[in-house]
Amino acid sequence: MPPKDTIVAIATGDCQGAIGIVRVSGPSAYWLGEKLTGRRLPDRRAVFSVFRSIKGEPLDEGLALFFRGPRSFTGEDSLELQGHGGRAAPRALLQACLDASSPTHPIRLAYAGEFTQRAFLNDRLDLVQAEAVADIIESQSSRSLKAAVRSLAGLFSETIHHLQAQLVDFRVLVEAHLDFSDEDIDGLELEQSLAQRMESVFRGVDDVLRSVESGLRLKEGCRVVLLGSPNAGKSSLMNALSQDEVAIVSDQPGTTRDRLTEELSVQGVHFLLTDTAGLRASAEHVEQLGIERSWQSLKTADLVLFVEDIQTLGDNKGLFKECQQNAAEGTEVWRVVNKWDLKPDFSLNPKVQQVPCFCVSARTGQGLDALTQAIISFATKDQAEGASLFSARQRHLEALLRARGQLTEAQTYLRLDSLELLAEHLRLAQDELGEILGRRTSDDLLGDIFSRFCIGK
């Protein structure tokens, strides 16, 4: 069998940092380290050295750090060469590594995510943890970072293992009954015991589903959409909330023609704030296209802020109702009365409001703090500090929903007293959970997951 490839990449990205790290993993890592530094490299101890090309030219100097497998990130022999940053120095070092490649020491550039993929294949990480590595790098807010770190530490994996263990216990009980069905077992007692377990497994899966849903919202950002009549001040609010002049504001109704989305991080919470074209029956073709997009935004929003001009409050009742009716299930629609500065004495009676309602002035900033705080509370309502928050992916959600589907089937067979089929669906539910951790995962899916990483990770 030919020797396994040793992979190499710049781990610090293509940027102007002070330090640049070239990372190496595979059976030739030690050989390569010795070749470039001319020194013996003890395990896990930094050695200062001049890095030289294969021809012996000095390229840079810095620290060489060798990790003997399996005690390394990838589980293989690994090497880090920490030299100067910028573009040229790390690239020269990378090239020197590639130049050293030979049939006995094949060395090549790593694919995206290949270091983490090797860690996964060598059982250093499960799939959830491998994904968490990418999520840490991509984190946009302190909360999503915290969630990703919790996943990397194995907290999400533990939760899934725990659910699987519950399913195993359940299956053991069912199988035992199948094996000894002729013997005298109290039928009623068994039925109750099985029903209790069923309920507890459902509860467990539903708890994790909720965490995953809020984790997804955290990762992708809470989608807040500004909707309302033309000239209500949606674009002005967009600018005020994002503290930037991102949208054009004018006193001409129909100024905004297209959706505009800004990513914001407020108090550690990640948002996607969207400004839309004002809703009205417009004959003009381009504006009409924009208005269609406004209605589409309603379908994918987590929270809709229905913006109204304080001077024309009565005119918007029908439109507000229409927004509520067209919003997706679970989407909240709040009222935001804008231009408070024009009627400073106006106040809302919270008792008669059926939805949360805020008075603000995009111009003076009045009322914006209260609105911002309410949005943050909404976005984090099921993410209480320290709660079971994980960095989740759509893939996890789908597997959990499939597992839940199998449990629903199992429940049907429990009611029909068809224990073989009950056991079978419990097994299938367990398999679906296993997929989250990367058991039974197809090569295609693995390729897809790791290819989204950056090179050097």
Ligand X SMILES: Nc1nc2c(ncn2[C@@H]2O[C@H](COP(=O)(O)OP(=O)(O)OP(=O)(O)O)[C@@H](O)[C@H]2O)c(=O)[nH]1
**Count of residues near ligand X by CB under 6 A:** 23
The contact pattern for Mg ion, residues 258-297, with x = CB under 5 A and - = no contact, is: ----------------------------------------
- Which residue do the tokens 């992916």 mark? 393
State the nearest-atom distance from the C-beta of 337 to ligand X, in Å. Answer: 10
Give the nearer residue to Mg ion in terms of CB position, either 117 or 231: 231
What part of residues 202-231 is at the interface with ligand X (CB under 6 A)? 230-231
Q: How far is the CB of 307 from ligand X (least distance, A)?
A: 6
What the block records as the tokens of 270 is: 């990640």
Q: Tell me which of 255, 324, 366, 441 binds Mg ion, using CB under 5 A.
A: 255
Cross-strand bridge partners of residue 19: 84
Q: Please report whether residue 259 would count as binding ligand X according to CB under 6 A.
A: no
Q: For Mg ion, which stretch binds (CB under 5 A), given 30-38, 69-77, 251-259, 306-314?
A: 251-259
CA distance 140 to 64: 32
**85 in Cβ contact with 16 (< 8 Å):** yes
- Least gap, CB of 227 to Mg ion (angstroms): 11
Of residues 332-361, those binding ligand X (CB under 6 A): 338-339, 341-342, 361
Total residues interacting with Mg ion, rule: CB under 5 A: 4
Using the minimum distance from each CB to ligand X, give the nearer residue, 144 or 338.
338
Q: Please report whether residue 256 would count as binding Mg ion according to CB under 5 A.
A: yes
363 is an interface residue for ligand X by CB under 6 A: yes
| 411 lines the binding site for Mg ion (CB under 5 A) | no
CB-count burial class (<10 Å; 0-12, 13-18, 19+) for 57: exposed
State the sign of the Cα–Cα–Cα–Cα dihedral 432, 433, 436, 438. negative
The residue among 292 and 420 lying less far from ligand X, judged by its C-beta, is: 292
- CB within 8 A of 413, min separation 6: which ones? 419, 421, 422, 425
Least distance from Mg ion to the Cβ atom of residue 240, Å: 13
Choosing from 249, 273, 303, 371, the residue that interacts with ligand X (CB under 6 A) is: 249
Q: Measured from the CB of residue 310, what is the shortest distance to Mg ion in angstroms?
A: 17
Contact of residue 362 among Mg ion, ligand X, none (CB under 5-8 Å per partner type) = ligand X
Site for ligand X contains 253 (CB under 6 A): yes
To Mg ion, the closest distance from the beta carbon of 290 in angstroms equals 10
Based on the shown chain and the rule CB under 5 A, indicate whether residue 229 belongs to the binding site for Mg ion: no
Of 31, 34, 27, 26, residue with least CA distance to 7: 26
Instruction: Decide: is 255 part of the binding site for ligand X (CB under 6 A).
Output: yes
Output the smallest distance, CB 340 to Mg ion, in A: 18
Report the candidate in 78, 360, 364, 380 with the shortest Cα–Cα distance to residue 221.
380
CB of 78 to ligand X, least distance (A): 54
Q: Which does 342 bind (CB under 5 to 8 A by kind): Mg ion, ligand X, none?
A: ligand X
One residue of 37, 235, 316, 338 binding Mg ion per CB under 5 A: 235
Least distance from Mg ion to the Cβ atom of residue 337, Å: 17
Contacts with ligand X, residue ranges (CB under 6 A): 230-236, 249-251, 253-256, 277-278, 338-339, 341-342, 361-363
Contacts with Mg ion, residue ranges (CB under 5 A): 234-235, 255-256
